[in-house]
């Protein structure tokens, strides 16, 4: 069953046929371009590497170049941009500032990671990483003294690693989630015990059958 009416005349049919042919050609050209980019080789007969520019002149522009461009003996200067340049200096400045901010953020994150990993408490021991399971702070990560249960050392070093949940609604969701996880663990444990008992029962039945068969054979 046709879902739309026929084209009014042959002129429209010809237009549509030409349009679909052009679309098919465009698809073929795009596919050829993709294959050309992937299989691109430089003058060294090596696959050209894919990179992204981080320079102030061409921030975030993709290109392919010779993997040996730093080798002063091969002297291969193969290079090809894969996308057009940014339209003006305003966009270039935006992209440069964005990459600088990303680099600063990476540096800050790395420093924080090092600080967290090397964190020591007042006992001069590495602070242990844990996750809170309390109803007040469910799922919050923290580091604390590994001797917090030792009443003689009396070290109360403690540091949250992430912010608190915004309100009681989220706290309730996290608490319910952790309770469900605990139940799932209990169910898994029960299933494991059940499987082990079933295997032992089957072995017992097999041994019992073999013993009965042996007794019958001796009587015969």
> What are the beta bridge partners of residue 141?
131
Q: Is the pLDDT of residue 34 over 70?
A: no
Instruction: Give the model's pLDDT for residue 32.
Output: 64
Q: Is the pLDDT of residue 38 over 70?
A: no
Q: Where are the alpha helices (DSSP H) in the chain?
A: 10-38, 89-117, 168-219
Instruction: Give the model's pLDDT for residue 116.
Output: 65
Mean per-residue pLDDT of the chain: 79
Instruction: Give the model's pLDDT for residue 140.
Output: 87
Q: Comparing 14-18, 189-193, 206-210, which segment has the lowest mean pLDDT?
A: 14-18
Mean per-residue pLDDT for 16-34?
72
Identify whether the C-beta of residue 90 lies closer than 8 Å to the C-beta of residue 82: no
Binned at pLDDT 50, 70 and 90, residue 39 comes out as low
Look at the alpha carbons of 51, 52, 54, 56 in this order and tell me if their dihedral is positive or negative: positive
The pLDDT tens digits of the residues spanning 114-142 come to 666 667 777 777 888 888 888 888 888 88
Domain residue ranges in the chain: 34-114, 128-199
Instruction: Give the model's pLDDT for residue 148.
Output: 78
Helix, strand, coil shares, percent, the chain, to 5: 50, 10, 40
Instruction: Give the model's pLDDT for residue 98.
Output: 80
Binned at pLDDT 50, 70 and 90, residue 12 comes out as low
């Amino acid at each position: 069953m046709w879902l739309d009416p026929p084209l009014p005349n042959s002129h429209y049919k010809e237009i549509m046929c030409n349009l679909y042919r052009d679309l098919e050609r465009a698809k073929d050209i795009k596919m050829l371009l993709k294959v050309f980019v992937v299989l691109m080789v430089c003058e060294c007969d090596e696959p050209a590497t894919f990179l992204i520019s981080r320079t102030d002149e061409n921030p975030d522009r993709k290109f392919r170049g010779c993997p040996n461009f730093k080798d002063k003996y091969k002297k291969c200067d193969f290079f090809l941009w894969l996308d057009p340049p940014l339209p003006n200096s305003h966009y270039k400045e935006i992209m440069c500032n964005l990459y600088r901010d990303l680099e600063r953020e990476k540096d800050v994150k790395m420093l924080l990671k090092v600080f967290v990993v090397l964190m020591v408490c007042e006992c001069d021991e590495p602070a242990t990483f844990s996750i809170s399971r309390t109803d007040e702070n469910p799922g919050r990560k923290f580091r604390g003294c590994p001797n917090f249960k030792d009443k003689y050392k009396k070290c109360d070093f403690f540091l949250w690693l992430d912010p608190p949940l915004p309100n009681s609604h989220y706290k309730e969701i996290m608490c319910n989630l952790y309770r469900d996880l605990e139940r799932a663990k209990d169910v898994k444990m029960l299933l494991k015990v059940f499987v082990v008992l079933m295997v032992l029962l089957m072995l017992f039945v097999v041994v019992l059958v073999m013993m009965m068969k042996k007794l019958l054979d001796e009587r015969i």
